[in-house]
Chain A
């Protein structure tokens, strides 16, 4: 099956000379449509760097990153921005939403940025909010939502439109365990719908929802396991 996300011998260096840091060192990874891959590892192991490269927020020093067959190295800043609007969705640990916009407006934003008219974008946003069970909170501003609800809205935004790749960086980090499990269940459900997902997490119990777990240490993939075999 064609990979939705493919990292091929990706290296990312920061700094230079004696201050050089090798955040990722020859990492290769493939994520198929409908597959959820969890990335685990200690702080500084390169998890967030991997996610940033996968979403086109950053560029590798060496190696290739392909999303849906498109080599991100061939895209300029504008092309990368377009990719994030159309194909890639992000969920961060906290402060995911623009506080000046309602839940529906936050979800509709990538669609509107991509040129969709307001009614069409809103319809797409409401459909995405419906998928995460938050349609009735569409008019609420972020500060009127609980932490779990904010993450659900962020997930709705990440999958709205024709997104094919969902990247989640510690999405449960700021949540209690019940809200965390709800968010994870939503991520799993979106992947079951055919979206490829990468979940960065510290917690093994959350990684258990993934199809596969990749362990990073010092910028290298040191182990891979199916979810059932997670320590």
Chain B
């Protein structure tokens, strides 16, 4: 008999754990469902519009530039939730190890939980994405030109699902779920058994190299943005893969923006740690929230990054409204028979407003979700607070402070990333005004002031922010 066995037992255990924690499971499944729904929908629309646009990848790239941050947000949120789950299950993982589970078994358990939730969320996402696309196809179809088939006859685009596309979507969904579960799984596999049995987390070694690596990646992203701007200004056409991720300019946005975002993401644990050191002693709720965030970087850093991705894209998209010049762009408008970026856009086109609202809601939703995870993780601490006689408003203040802090940190990172195309434009002035040329101040105010305030207010009013019975300090099972 070998240590390689037990997969069925672990799958059973993973599935039961998923069912035993419906709130957390729902959060992970929903987070993973969102990008899957987008992808399922896009495979239908893009395939059709790609035909209509005679092979142009413009829409595909534009979609990816919005899609990738959504993927990042989803993966980070799911990773945070799975990480909290693994930490709450520390004692169970310890029991599993004491019963002879190896590091591989522990890793496999967490991965199977992620996979199960990914499949669940992914299937819901696919059905949802296809259903919404099907329902909206009447409107969408009107935007698409008739296509020429092999005989040269004009064919009206129609809703059709290609099996191969669905297979890719399923593969994406599985990969995303596994990616989200990877870090929590590795951490679980390394947990010392004795510490896990006692419910103690293993000490987290300081990782100063992470900040250095983050800064290097972020600066590399900025440099690539400058190069991308120059290439775009000279009209250099690159292979689509390069254009998308490394050296391209997708319409008016430099795609290395995503590299800059990745670099910033690596710096977020240090940022959270720094915040805990610099926040003032009062209000006490903010200090406690900052300390909690610093003590739990596995939860807070992904949240900050997720917010930064959402709000950063918001800043970038708003920056488009500032673009002027012969090559300037507005937003998606139904001209020339297919979805196209048009010139001479109004100051803030309706479609852009919708996207701005969507990214704002997404950022606030992420913060609230992470706050709920934080409450679940800090249930013992909150029970101690209750035992010490803390009033219900103390919990509300804590929830609000935590939401504000995470959102504000995410907003700061998001603004830095979102304004990086502006820096690239200044470093590489283009006569065509390819990138945003000025700061869109109303959006900055929205991102830095309004969104954190909304997140704080919503967290304070969320029922989970108020003390409830049943979360005693001794309850370590959930």
Q: Which residues of A does B touch, CB under 8 Å?
A: 52, 55, 57-58, 77-78, 81-86, 90, 92, 95-101, 105, 108-110, 112-116, 118, 121, 157
Contact = CB atoms under 8 A, between A and B. Distances in A.
Point out which of B1, B13, B98, B102 has the most chain A C-beta atoms below 10 A from its C-beta.
Answer: B98
A171 to B, nearest CB: 13
Contact of B20 (A81, A95, A99, A113): A99
Contacts of A99: 20, 92, 477
B88 to A, nearest CB: 12
Interface string B1-16: 1111110111011001
B299 interface: no
5 contacts: A97-B95, A112-B9, A113-B10, A115-B4, A116-B5
B105 interface: yes
A84 B100 CA distance: 4
B97 interface: yes
A82 B100 contact: yes
B99 interface: yes
B17 interface: yes
A82 B101 CA distance: 8
A155 to B, nearest CB: 13
A105 B3 contact: no
B103 A55 contact: no
B236 to A, nearest CB: 53
A82 B102 contact: yes
Interface in B191-209: 192-194, 197
Given A95-B91, A99-B92, A112 B8 contact: yes
B6 A78 contact: no
Given A81-B103, A86-B100, A101 B2 contact: no
B158 interface: no
Contacts of B440: none
A13 to B, nearest CB: 14
Contacts of A110: 99-100
A84 B98 CA distance: 7
A55 B5 contact: no
Given A78-B3, A90-B98, A95-B477, 5 more contacts: A57-B98, A92-B98, A95-B476, A100-B16, A109-B13
B96 interface: yes
Nearest to B93: A98
Contacts of A101: 12-13, 16
A98 B3 contact: no
Main SS class of interface, B: helix
A129 B197 CA distance: 24
Point out which of A57, A81, A97, A105 has the most chain B C-beta atoms below 10 A from its C-beta.
Answer: A81
A114 B100 contact: yes
B477 to A, nearest CB: 5
Nearest to B18: A100
B197 A57 contact: yes
B477 A78 contact: no
Nearest to A83: B100
A114 B3 contact: yes
B9 A81 contact: no
B9 A109 contact: yes
A118 B95 CA distance: 20
A112 B194 CA distance: 22
A115 B194 contact: no
B200 to A, nearest CB: 12
A115 B193 CA distance: 21
Contacts of B16: 100-101
A112 to B, nearest CB: 4
Point out which of B10, B17, B98, B100 has the most chain A C-beta atoms below 10 A from its C-beta.
Answer: B100
A77 B476 CA distance: 26
B1 to A, nearest CB: 4
A52 B477 CA distance: 22
A58 B100 contact: no
B476 A114 contact: no
B13 A100 contact: yes
A81 B101 contact: yes
Contacts of B6: 109, 112-115
Contact of A114 (B2, B10, B91): B2
9 nearest A-B pairs in the assembled complex, by CB-CB distance: A85-B100, A115-B5, A100-B16, A81-B102, A113-B6, A112-B9, A115-B1, A84-B100, A114-B1
Nearest to A88: B100
B242 to A, nearest CB: 43
Nearest to B190: A77
A184 to B, nearest CB: 21
A90 B99 contact: yes
Nearest to B198: A48
A16 B1 CA distance: 40
Contacts of B2: 114-115
Nearest to A85: B100
B5 A58 contact: no
A90 B476 CA distance: 20
A98 B8 contact: no
B99 A109 contact: yes
A99 B93 CA distance: 12
A104 B91 CA distance: 20
Nearest to A120: B1
B102 to A, nearest CB: 4
A113 B3 contact: yes
A78 B91 CA distance: 20
A150 to B, nearest CB: 12
